[in-house]
Structure 1
Amino acid sequence: MRRRSLILAAVPAGLVTLSACGDDKPDSSKASDSASPSAPAPSATSAAPPPKIVDGPLPAVTAGVKFGEKPTVAKGTGTPSDQLAVKTLIVGTGKTVVEKDVVQANLLGQLWDSAKVLVDTFAAKPQFTQLAPGASMDGIRYALTGKKVGSRVEFSVPPTWGFGAAGNTEAGVKGTDTLVFVFDIQEAFSPKSSAKGKNVPQSDAALPKVGTNTDGTAPSIVVPKSAAPTKLVSNYVIEGDGPALVASDSVLVQYKGVVWNTGKEFDSTYTRGAPTSFALQQVVKGWSQGLTGKKVGSRVVIVVPPALGYGDNPPSGSGLEKDSTMVFSVDILS
């Protein structure tokens, strides 16, 4: 499993691992080095060779047939394919999704035999799924790669490319169950995605200066040789024109974190090669407070004092010392 982002509080694994999303509630105020909530349970991936992509069979969508509408999907009839049955119900006109992209989508997932719904985000908020080995269910990765943003895709996932022979007891999935999904692909983000907007002057010499490059590489962070601020700092480096975040939002971000005293990097999505997603309720207080009210599309510099970070209890192996002040550059992608 992938190393957890250090900004995140511990998050329990649950049914959302079907889609590799990050909307679970935190069960601890401490950070952990376990998998990121963007990563699935181990049983959600396999070492099986790629499946054949076949046309069907697939259950009918009997209601909610438009993009963005909650679909009603009939119970499967007959024997499902032992390969990956995929059908594009609505062909989008946006960018083509490629492997390693993070897809933002609404989705419905249910069992073939009973039509029991396992996951439904249409009544809530879209989810983020990275289409990479070890980051999402193999069946989802193979079914969505090559599709266009704006598409509605229906597909069935046999156990080989789903939860395997062990199934998933927490989700109510047996080792013989075939899963059926409908994904409405709203957007796709690559490991090179970055902020978009207007540069904002960084004129305070007492605060870190962050690079304004938007080529997908990590921006520079230059920390001044002065005492760290004792209160939270959250300023625009690049101001986007998207909606302002509220405290209940989930976000997709690129970020880099350094220690104030040394300027040394200790955590970065650029180093890991993929954006990460989380709910603002899951992160350290400095992040949740610093990002609330900021616009999507922006790059923000956040200076997190110890009281709003990890204080005297930094995560083991993080490279952070007790009472470290952290500095982050954060690109709010979605």
Structure 2
Amino acid sequence: MSTLPTASGSFGDKPVLTFPDSAAPEDLAVVVLEQGDGAEVEAGQSIEVNYLGQTWAPGGGRIFDNSYDRGSSISFPIGVGAVIAGWDDALVGQQIGSRVLVSIPPHLGYGHRGMPAAGIKGTDTLVFVVDILGAR
């Protein structure tokens, strides 16, 4: 079993990820870092989140995107294929107010093509810390 990265900070704070020396898990891994007390996110809702995304690498991969530095959250439909499959699979069913760490293998991320514009290779495992702010 793979060991997942750890994340600093609490809900609302920009996290810093610390990666283990082990290989990334081959399957989706989801850990609730802080349990929210809001309603559960349902497929088909529009979800509002803050997030940090980083590629998996021992010692720490490259941060390819984060909303904390922009100072604004993002909203998108969840559970309907509008975002990468790993987000749909990991975030549907989580409670609003939760901070979730998600490790997404390539086949549930951008696939073998990757996302060259973001510097993501087709072999990259993606790690996100997601603060779920709301859903409607």
TM-score (norm 1): 0.37
The answer to whether structure 1 residue 207 and structure 2 residue 7 are counterparts is no
RMSD: 1.6
Deviation at 1:205, TM superposition (A): 7.5
State the partner residue of 1:322.
Answer: 122
Question: Which residue of the other structure, out of 5, 8, 22, is the alignment partner of 1:226?
Answer: 22
Deviation at 1:317, TM superposition (A): 1.9
**Shift >3 Å, 4+ stretches:** none
Within 5 Å, give how 1:302-317 maps onto structure 2.
302-317=102-117
Which is strand-richer, 1 or 2?
A: 2
State the partner residue of 1:14.
Answer: none
The answer to whether structure 1 residue 249 and structure 2 residue 49 are counterparts is no
State the partner residue of 1:67.
Answer: none
Would you say the 8 A contact 1:212–1:238 is kept in 2?
no
* Partners of 2:40 and 2:84 in 1: CA distance: 19
Deviations 1:267-320 (A, max 9, x none): 100122210000012110000000011100000000000010012112232011
Q: Partner of 1:231: helix, strand, or coil?
A: coil
* Partners of 2:68 and 2:107 in 1: CA distance: 26
Question: Which residue of the other structure, out of 258, 263, 266, is the alignment partner of 2:54?
Answer: 258
Structure of larger gyration radius: 1
Deviations 1:237-290 (A, max 9, x none): 000001111111110000000100242100100122210000012110000000
Deviations 1:54-82 (A, max 9, x none): xxxxxxxxxxxxxxxxxxxxxxxxxxxxx
The number of aligned residues is 130
State the partner residue of 1:33.
Answer: none
Q: Partner of 2:88: helix, strand, or coil?
A: helix
* Partners of 1:263 and 1:217 in 2: CA distance: 19
* Partners of 1:285 and 1:271 in 2: CA distance: 25
* Partners of 1:205 and 1:326 in 2: CA distance: 14
Identity %: 38
Q: Which amino acid is the alignment partner of residue 224 of structure 1?
A: P
* Partners of 2:52 and 2:70 in 1: CA distance: 11
State the partner residue of 1:275.
Answer: 73
Bigger RCO of structures 1 and 2 (CA < 8 A, at least 6 apart): 2
Q: Partner of 1:272: helix, strand, or coil?
A: coil
Deviation at 1:225, TM superposition (A): 1.1
Within 5 Å, give how 1:1-334 maps onto structure 2.
206-214=3-11, 216-261=12-57, 262-280=60-78, 281=80, 282-334=82-134
Deviation at 1:322, TM superposition (A): 1.9
Would you say the 8 A contact 1:206–1:226 is kept in 2?
yes
* Partners of 2:74 and 2:34 in 1: CA distance: 19
* Partners of 1:259 and 1:322 in 2: CA distance: 11
* Partners of 1:266 and 1:239 in 2: CA distance: 26
State the partner residue of 1:196.
Answer: none
Would you say the 8 A contact 2:2–2:23 is kept in 1?
no
